[in-house]
Amino acid sequence: MDEKIRLIGDIHYESNLQDGPGIRIARDFMMRLIRGFSKQASSYIRVTDEVPFIFKERQLHSSLAPALAEFCDAFLMESPVNRNWSSISYDERNDSHGWVDYWCYFRKIAFLIEIKHGFISCKSEQIRSSVKEDWKIALRQLDAIEKEAKFQSEWTNGAFRIALNVLPLYETANIKEPNTVGNFDKLLSIQRDSIKQFEQQPNWSAMWILHKNLAGPYKYPNTVEYYPGVLFISHISEISIT
């Protein structure tokens, strides 16, 4: 499915989710989140001439939280949860202090979301080992909050656990604009090829193809970079229902 947003760009959605309880609501939730993220990030770029998703995971919340506020009935960042600690290694517990990045309530369903952040080079098109490892950690964190999801479903119409990895695409080009900017076919090819590089492949993804006026150039002391797209990969669990 494709969506065009004026002066922001295009969003292409890919889903391997099978129809089942709550799945259409989960798809609607994710599409609203990515659409809202793109709008919030675009507003920041126009005001500051700086890209907000190139920093670290913490800065992503500046675009994610306002997006959620637009359509959720309620949400909480760093929400306390009950975790099954035995499913998380000792080293990973420093990143898992009994919290989940977001708890959201939308259309009578709870969503528990773990966020990760990384980058993809348009030239190599290879997923870094650190990104793959973060993805594995996110999936283990979802396993660790399965009991929490069941608890949430006792007073809602069900709960989804979601791992969401935000992966900006970048390309260095000091002389001329790279051919990835606004190149729908090329960026969708990167989206599909990137998904295949994960051992446990995402079951939902989106590619935000930035409007040409937002993609760059962005000049730094030693380089000039373009950001033609942002890939969002996600694993959405089956709904927990009591």
95 found inside a domain: yes
Residue 165 clears pLDDT 80, i.e. is over it = yes
In a domain, 196, yes or no: yes
Q: Could you tell me if residue 148 is inside a domain?
A: yes
pLDDT digits 0-9 by tens, 189-199: 999 999 999 99
Q: How many domains would you assign to the chain?
A: 1
175: pLDDT confidence band, cut at 50, 70 and 90?
low
Global confidence as pTM: 0.92
Residue 51 lies in a domain: yes
Q: What percent of the chain has pLDDT over 90?
A: 81
Could you list the residue range(s) of the whole structural domain that residue 76 is in? 2-236
Mean pLDDT of 119-148: 94
pLDDT at residue 226, rounded to an integer: 96
Residue 96 lies in a domain: yes
- Reported as a pLDDT band with limits 50, 70 and 90, residue 14 is very high
pLDDT, average across residues 49-70: 94
Is 241 within a domain? Answer: no
* Residue-by-residue DSSP string for the chain: -EEEETTTEEEEEEE-PPP-TTHHHHHHHHHHHHHHHHHHHHHHHHHHSS-GGGS-HHHHHHHHHHHHHHH-SEEEEEEE----GGGS-TGGGGG-SSEEEEEEEETTEEEEEEEEE--EETTT----HHHHHHHHHHHHHHHHTHHHHHHHTTSSS-EEEEEEEEEEEEEE-SSS--TTTT-HHHHHHHHHHHHHTSSS--SEEEEEEE-TTTS--EEETTEEEEEEEEEEEEEEPPPB--
Whether 141 is in a domain gets the answer yes
Q: How confident is the model at residue 82 (pLDDT cuts 50, 70, 90)?
A: low
Q: How far apart are CA 195 and CA 177, in angstroms?
A: 26
| Reported confidence tier of residue 179, pLDDT bands at 50, 70, 90 | confident
Higher pLDDT, 19 or 240: 240
Q: Please report whether residue 124 resides in a domain.
A: yes
pLDDT reading at 86 higher than 50: no
Q: What is the mean pLDDT of residues 218-236?
A: 94
**pLDDT class of 176 with cuts at 50, 70, 90:** confident
